[in-house]
Amino acid sequence: MVQKIALFNHKGGVSKTTTTFNLGWMLASKGKKVILVDTDPQCNLTGMALGEDTEDDEARLEEVYKTHSNIKTGLAPAFESQPKAIDAVDCIEIEGIKGLYLLPGHVGFAEYEVTLGIAQELSGSIQALRNLPGAITDLLDKTAKKFNADYILIDMSPSLGAINQNLLMTSDFFIVPTMPDFFSVMAIDSLTKVLPKWYAWAKAASSLPILKEAAYPFPDITLRFLGTIVQNYRTNKSKPTAAFQTWIQRIEGSVSYKLVPTLRQHNMMLPDLLYSQQNISDSFTLTKIPNFNSLIALSQEYRTPIYALTQDQLSDSKWQGNVLANFQYQQKQFRETFLDLADKVIGLTAPQYAVST
């Protein structure tokens, strides 16, 4: 049974795309079949996975969009009233790792925002648009079945629009990436208000016979919170600097005392025992990832995670001596971080831990 995990924060610049790519690669390295889904119209995940910097990359991207479906064309039968049913997308296998696939994004995916928003008002106009709210789930489920996927990781845009409302509420789990600053604290406070409203909408939608009986049925709602990731902070002697540590504590406080109690009240949390079994504290921080700017740039150049960069690739960067040794140490840290994160995700999402709605 596929598990759909959304990575969502309506504050931008929190490295959702980098995390999605690295987590997916690590899960695949552990023998899981993973589909990365790029639902952000900026298409950063697609660019990271396929390359977009050189003329060869651009030519390959152009060929991909000519020969493969993407998130927009996959949903077109429903949103553009085409005389055919939604079918599984022929995902692209990502080079360098077995079992990792990409469902490419499309800049035009945002064109469906307004129509979906009208359909999700659950008003009198729902009859004509009844197939839309369940269309995304149908596409992802059919694609997962085609590839026998264990996980779908959804890289979402930083917005509170109708598409994200649908994507998040129809996922099985979600992770909130953050960075230690004032605006991430604001975002956590905002999610505390928004998510209960979205959940109430989704539960209402899932109970409507007209949506349950649609060509693309709206699913039951089983969304559960896995935790947050704090990243992109500077360190001093392997620890966050004092300024960043202050913001990390404020984020964790907002999660512990505002977000989680609200999610628990609205049935969006796993049992406490599952978190404790994965050594997740009551701050619900899955991991902390410092700033690896130079290594991230190199990983993007080679379209591979930091921890999968080879010694030849590191050497090609012209780093030498202590600088090279330091980056090799950081690479080891990054690998250990994502090994631990992948293990926690696997532990929290194991099918035997499925909870009732």
Mean residue pLDDT across the chain: 89
61-65, 215-219, 221-225: range with lowest mean pLDDT: 61-65
Helix (H) or strand (E) holding 56: helix 55-67
Q: How far apart are CA 23 and CA 7, in angstroms?
A: 11
Q: Specify the 3-state DSSP secondary structure of 40.
A: coil
Whether residue 168 is predicted with pLDDT greater than 70 in this model: the reply is yes
Give the pLDDT band (50/70/90) at residue 8: very high
Residue 354 has pLDDT above 60, yes or no: no
CA–CA gap between residue 300 and residue 296 (Å, rounded):
6
Candidate CATH numbers 3.40.50.720, 3.40.50.1100, 3.30.1360.120, 3.40.50.300; the one for domain 3-353:
3.40.50.300
One-letter identity of residue 13? G
- The answer to which of 3-17, 81-95, 317-331 has the lowest mean pLDDT is 317-331
Residue extents of the structural domains in the chain: 3-353
Does residue 290 carry a pLDDT above 60?
yes
pTM of the model: 0.93
Q: Which of 290, 287, 307, 291 is nearest to 299 (CA)?
A: 307
93 phi and psi angles, rounded to 5 deg: -75, 130
What is the predicted pLDDT for the residue at 60?
A: 77
First and final C-alpha spacing in the chain: 17
Residues 141 and 133: their CA atoms lie apart, in Å, by 14
For a pLDDT cut of 90, what percent of the chain falls above it?
Answer: 66
DSSP, residue by residue, 275-343: HHHTT--TT-EEEEE---HHHHHHHHHHTS-GGG--HHHHHHTT--HHHHHHHHHHHHHHHHHHHHHHH
Rg (CA), the chain: 20
Give the separation between CA 228 and CA 13, rounded to whole angstroms. 15
Instruction: Indicate the range of 63-72, 87-96, 281-290, 293-302 predicted with least confidence.
Output: 293-302
d(CA 10, CA 183) in angstroms, rounded, equals 10
* Local confidence band at 357 (pLDDT 50, 70, 90 cut-offs): very low
| The pLDDT of residue 253 is above 90 | yes
Tally the residues of the chain.
357
Range with the poorest average pLDDT among 184-188, 215-219, 265-269, 333-337: 333-337
Beta strands 224-231 and 285-289, pairing class: parallel
